[in-house]
Amino acid sequence: MLQLRDYQDAAIDMLRDGFRDGHQAQILYLATGGGKTEVAISLLDAARRKGTRAAMLLDRIVLCDQTSKRLDKYSIDHGVLQSGHWRYRPSELIQVCSAQTIEKRGSFPGLSLLIIDEAHQSRKQTLEFIKANPHIKVVGLTATPFTKGLGATYSNVVSPITTKKLVDAGSLVPLRVFVAKEIDMEGAKKVAGEWSQAEATSRGKKITGDIVAEWVKKTHEIFGKPEKTIVFCAGVDHGIDLQQKFQEQGYNFVSISYRDDDDFKRDIIEDFNKPDSNIMGLIATDILTKGFDSPAVRIGVSARPFSKSLSSHIQQMGRVMRPYPGKDFGIWLDHSGNYIRFREDWEDVFENGVSELEDGKEKAKKEPDEKEKKEAKCPACGALWPRGSDTCAHCGHVREKKSLVQSVPGMMEELGSMSRDDKQKWWNQIQWKIKFHGWSAGRGAHVYREKFGVWPRGLVDGVPEPPGPAFEKHVRAGLIRYMKGKR
């Protein structure tokens, strides 16, 4: 029998409140592993018990089968709306179907509730279906609601609990991050703001040996033996190269990709999930990023660099954070540079969750320089250095204390992590400038980003506060730098 956690019950109540308030389409944000599917199944079953039709939409056939098995686990009658499928039962009130099926049908008579998995990656036809059927209640599921235009389809976001609180409650496990040898992407070609996969593959293959060696070292150092692992490679050929190098070392890693048929991929994943499987690791680019559910995985290897895709980075880490008996933490071996590249944004989402949908799109991140990369990791073991500490949490190495004040021409900045209250106070002062001094919203956002390195997110608007001396000093210093640059 399906039993929800308190925050999952709260999510359902919040969604129902949203529908009552007139929101036809809503986003349910929960971290990967937070139980979005269980919330969805509860909503589907509630609709069935009321005698109304409901459907869950997924973007791959393999995910339809996975969801069908989850419904079977809770003994909930349903059909899979796919011609030729052994569970094709169109008369059932609950239907599981692919996005392509909806597109071919063009309509879904009698449907009252539509739940869309991975809503941040919805196809154009799916979005058109939502707009053409305003009588259907829609819930989009996602752990990364950062896609451009998402706010144009969904008018409300429900965020019942943060990732940090899920970790604190034991519903997810924390990650121990190691910053390993990085794929060098300097000067690499970009396509639509993201590094070319062909070039990422070529450069990734240059450090395949380092990736395998680091995994062998860490799995024995931390666990005393090999542990189940997933590897996010830079491209298909990179995955094949990694598979060969792991197998040469005596470890059975299998690479899967779009080149393989669905039956092969399904069989490999099912075999990997068995407790006695002889497959130690899976390697893929996108297949393991979404919809992959294997809580026994203890190690994630990041070997696919992203220039701007915070969404993909968060999705990948979430695959290693699912709880499992005897699993106190997951290991994240970062060969892509993604963790440091997205650290500020990730920590914001981790601590604060998501309070609103952005209509912008993810933008390429400024690359950290060599000094920032060096300071971000322990020189002894490579573990991510904890903010505000002089001791490595992994090996105990002590770093020589330095002044917490950094001198910058024309200004003094205190280093270290600032609290959410500090950031809100800064934002309140920006709101004062917007309301009483004629600043544009864009200028306010840029001043905030200059200070914190990220765009304002999850803050309360409309609470102007008179600027203090530190704020005015920061603004003056920024203006001076700008004028010097103009000259």
pLDDT of residue 484: 62
Q: Where are the domains of the chain?
A: 6-161, 166-352, 405-480
At 147-202, the pLDDT tens digits run: 878 888 999 999 999 999 999 999 999 999 999 999 999 889 998 888 998 999 99
Higher pLDDT, 87 or 403: 87
- Under CATH, what is the fold of the domain 6-161? Rossmann fold (3.40.50)
Tell me the average pLDDT of the chain. 87
**pTM over the 0.85 mark:** no
* pLDDT surpasses 80 at 377: yes
What's at 210, amino acid-wise? D
Q: Is domain 166-352 annotated with CATH 3.40.50.2300?
A: no
**DSSP structural state of residue 410:** T
Contact 383, 394 (CB under 8 A): yes
Which residues lie across from 330 on neighbouring strands?
175
Contact 101, 116 (CB under 8 A): no
CA pair distance 444, 461, nearest whole angstrom: 12
pLDDT band, residue 92 (cuts 50/70/90): very high
At 309-368, the pLDDT tens digits run: 888 999 999 999 999 999 999 999 999 999 999 998 898 889 888 877 765 556 777 788
3-state SS class at 238: helix
CA pair distance 451, 454, nearest whole angstrom: 8
Contact 303, 204 (CB under 8 A): yes
* pLDDT surpasses 80 at 408: no
Higher pLDDT, 377 or 409: 377
